[in-house]
Amino acid sequence: MDKLEQVYEGKAKKVFKTDDPHYYIIEYKDEATAFDGKKKGIIQGKGTINNKVSAVFFELLEQKGIPTHFIKLLSPNEMLVKKVDIIPLEVIVRNYSAGSVSKRLGLEEGIKFDTPILEFSYKSDELGDPMVNDYHILALHLATKDEISTLTQQAFKINDILSSYLWEKNIILVDFKLEFGKTPEGDIVLADEISPDTCRFWDRTTMEKLDKDRFRRDMGNVEEAYIEVARRLGCL
């Protein structure tokens, strides 16, 4: 399948048309950003790792009944996906206190919640991806009530699947961000990526951070953390 013109470039990925209008190619980049693009850098090998790690998760979720946009890997840093229209919402699931929820609520990092917390953010770099609730979503026509219900159910199911899977790899799934898209037929499928860029992964034994927080906080050993996640998932 031939890669044609680029249709999108984000902070971590490029998207290209193909000679089949039903499929796109996603190319993962080594560039890293944080704090709404205020901090920028390079994480060597990140594109390859995030591509392969996302593929592992997409394949696992497909096996468990979660529809995704993933078709197959094409190269170390490229995957073939179904063409979808991204729903302009980030769906965030939090199992432990960390990051922005700790700051907003004055919580010490690392508290395990009795029940997972689900949040929605409006996808807008200009506005800093502000948090929204169901009423905002409906008022702004970002999604229908039925679509909100589908996103919620899918997010919690994905959380259960990934948390159990990662626990066996000695990794705690602290929190993560999901994005969903709609196919031309109107079906909602999981899209974007699931990787150390979009999840917080902690070592189950040492609580060491194995994700993008190492870049955000200048903790060092960023590449090593990404490699360790990929190694535990059998990608390397």
Cα 134 to chain centroid, rounded: 21
Supply the pLDDT for residue 36. 73
Same-fold call for 3-82 versus 85-222: no
Q: What is the mean pLDDT of residues 37-57?
A: 94
* pLDDT tens sequence across 102-112: 999 999 999 99
Rounded-to-integer distance, Cα 123 and Cα 120, Å: 9
Give, in words, the CATH class of 85-222: alpha beta
**CATH number, domain 3-82, options 3.40.50.410, 3.30.200.20, 3.90.1010.10, 3.30.365.10:** 3.30.200.20
Residue ranges per domain, the chain? Answer: 3-82, 85-222
Supply the pLDDT for residue 172. 98
Supply the pLDDT for residue 59. 98
Average pLDDT of the chain, as a whole number: 96
